Amino acid sequence: MNMLLNYSTKDLCIFSHHFHIPGDSWALWAAGLLFVFLFCAGYEGFKNWARAYDRRVAAEYLRILAAEEDEEESTTATPSTSSSSSSSGLEMKKKKTSYSSAPTQRRTVTTNATSAPSSPPPSPQTTRAAAASFARARKPTRALLYAAQYLYGMLAMLLFMTYNVQVMLACSAGVGAGFLRWAADLPPLGGAATARRRDVSDVGEQEEEEQQSAACH
């Protein structure tokens, strides 16, 4: 195997001896370089598709957990409303019994309130277990996509390891074109963007406090 940079256009083999490009045909040579270009561009597209699947799984997982938080908020808000309704019911009961105890009028007052039965919300443990089960169910598919992505990358590396300058340039151009076609316009905004938003919010809060203190004085 020749491990030196070369510009040779004779007897180039891509992947195996069955994919042999003779040097006397410029049309076959151009077709071979086009194949290398499209193969490497497709690698970037496949990577982006696998990452999009991971993002969909993460979004669904967070949606399940967000549903748990909504259930917790609704359960914490229910006792206050029920206590207020029960206190108002007791007040109405006292008024009605005092009114019915008059000697001239005897009335029967029913104070039993009926409420429609409501199903209890799912517990946080149940919701978290459902989220964990969802993640475990999607993990084999993610592992299969990761293995396919790894195999694709190794095949692209074999193309580059021909050490042929034309093939190496076709690989680089294909990867760049694939990134331009399928990559996002912005890199993923992680902790740096979150910290920046926190700094901006802290500055805004400090300005509001200074304005309030100045208005008081």
Residue-wise pLDDT for 84-111, tens only, equals 445 555 455 444 444 444 444 444 444 4
Provide the pLDDT for residue 130: 87
DSSP conformation class of 164: B
Are the CB atoms for 156 and 39 separated by under 8 Å?
yes
Provide the pLDDT for residue 68: 64
Provide the pLDDT for residue 71: 60
Are the CB atoms for 108 and 100 separated by under 8 Å?
yes
Residue 3: C-alpha distances to residues 116, 162, 164 (Å): 80, 8, 9
Count CA within 13 A, CB hemisphere, residue 89: 12
- Which residue shows structure tokens 């259930």? 71
What is d(CA 14, CA 21) in angstroms, rounded to the nearest whole number? 8
Judged by DSSP in three states, 43 sits in helix
Per-residue pLDDT of the chain (217 residues; tens, 9 = 90+): 667 788 877 777 888 777 777 767 788 888 889 999 999 999 999 999 999 999 999 999 999 888 766 665 665 555 544 444 455 554 554 444 444 444 444 444 444 444 445 555 556 678 788 888 998 999 999 999 999 999 999 999 999 988 889 999 999 999 999 999 998 777 766 554 444 555 545 545 666 666 666 666 5
What is d(CA 69, CA 209) in angstroms, rounded to the nearest whole number? 31
Provide the pLDDT for residue 138: 92
Structure-block tokens of residue 155: 């095949």
Name 58's Cβ contacts closer than 8 Å, sequence gap at least 6: none
Provide the pLDDT for residue 15: 81
Is the overall model pTM greater than 0.75, yes or no?
no
Share of the chain above pLDDT 70, in %: 58
What is d(CA 167, CA 19) in angstroms, rounded to the nearest whole number? 14
